[in-house]
Amino acid sequence: MDTEKLDFIVAGVGGQGTILASDILAEVGVEAGYVVKKSEVHGMSQRGGSVESHVRWGKDVVYSPLAEKGNVDYLLGFEMLEAARWRDFVAPWGTVIVNEHKITPSSVNLGHAIYPERERINDLLKKQSSKVTWVEATLIAKKLGHPALAGVIILGALSKLIDIGPGVWLSVVERLVPARFVELNREAFLAGRNKQQQETSA
């Protein structure tokens, strides 16, 4: 690949597996010959709060581990509201892949705030970028037997848009997930990849 740089943000809710997914994304970049940096926050923010990882691939050099607003090539939203929260970071040429999945924050359950409608979220994302893809990753993951597979399904969908063969992605997935879940993750990755294929050809 000869792209100068690719910036990704993986946004979701603590416990959804955004850290594993962004680790995979970072390692795939290294395998593909990029200089890679990645940043996230651990600790208190993991207890069901908003979490985001920045992953940056650069051809020659990457300085900041954090991506810049308006410059992100791919926003991966593991949850609808969290995708909307990071929309400002998406570049005009960027792509949003958003999981068709809602986790209601406490502020909404207590009646202090209203969770935006799906169409409202779609509009907000579309205002930033014309390339918005919705994937029913959690639904597919549940069918495969575990909702935590949603992250790898989204990576599968992303892989179709990036010029790196699925073999590279799968080898990294196999390296980073626990041995007994390798087969399941493989299946999930390919399910996401096929899903995106259908979307792209549609």
Partner 1 sequence: MKKLLSGNEAVAYGAYLAGARLGSAYPGTPSTEIMEEFSKYPGVYAEWSPNEKVAMDVAVGASYAGKRAFASMKHVGVNVAADSLFYASYTGSRAGLVLVSADDPGMHSSQNEQDSRNYAKFAKVPMLDPADSEEAKLFMVRAFEISEQFDTPVVVRTTTRISHSRTLVDIADLDSTSEELEDAEPTQFEIEPSKYVMVPANARLRHVIVEEKLKKLTEFAAETELNRVEPGNSELGIITGGVSYQYAKEIFPRATFLKLGMAYPLSKKLFNSFAERVEKILVVEELDPFYEEYARQIGLKVLGKEVFPLTGEFSPTLIRECGYKSGVLKEETLNLTAVTSGSNEAKEPLPLRPPMLCPGCGHRGIFYALQKLRAVVLGDIGCYTLGAAPPLNAMHTVGCMGASIGVVHGVDKARVKNRTAAVLGDSTFFHAGIAPLMNIVYNRGVSTTIIVDNRITAMTGHQANPGTGSTLQGDSAPVIDLEKLCRGLGIEKVETVNPFELSNVLKVLKEHMDSPEPSVIIARYPCVLNIKERKPALVVDSDLCSDCGTCLRIGCPSLLKEEGHVSIDPLLCNGCGYCVQVCPRNAISSKNNN
The residues binding partner 1 (CB under 8 A) are 13-14, 23, 26-27, 30, 35-50, 62-71, 81-82, 84-85, 87-88, 91-92, 103-116, 124, 128, 147
> By C-beta, is 68 or 200 nearer to partner 1?
68
User: Which is closer to partner 1, CB of 149 or CB of 196?
Assistant: 149
Residue 10 or 196: the one with the smaller Cβ distance to partner 1 is: 10
Structure tokens at 42: 């651990």
Residue 20's closest CA among 192, 179, 129, 155? 155
**Complex with partner 1: residue 77 or 196, whichever CB lies closer:** 77
- Give the amino acid at 10: V
Q: How far is CA 90 from CA 58, 185, 192, in A?
A: 17, 28, 22
Q: What is the largest CA-CA distance in the chain?
A: 49
Minimum Å gap between C-beta 129 and partner 1 is 11
CB of 8 to partner 1, least distance (A): 13
* Number of helical (H) and strand (E) elements in the chain, helices listed first: 8, 6
Q: Considering the complex, what minimum distance in angstroms separates the CB of residue 198 from partner 1?
A: 26
b/e map 8-37, b = 16+ CB within 10 Å: bbbbbbbebbbbbbbbbbbbbbebbebebb
Residues 6+ apart with CB under 8 A from 2: 59
As measured in angstroms, the least distance from the Cβ of 113 to partner 1 is: 4
Of 90 and 193, CB closest to partner 1: 90
Token pair, residue 55, equals 């992953």
CA atoms lying within 13 Å on the CB side of residue 201: 6
Residue 176 beta carbon to partner 1: minimum distance, rounded to whole angstroms: 11
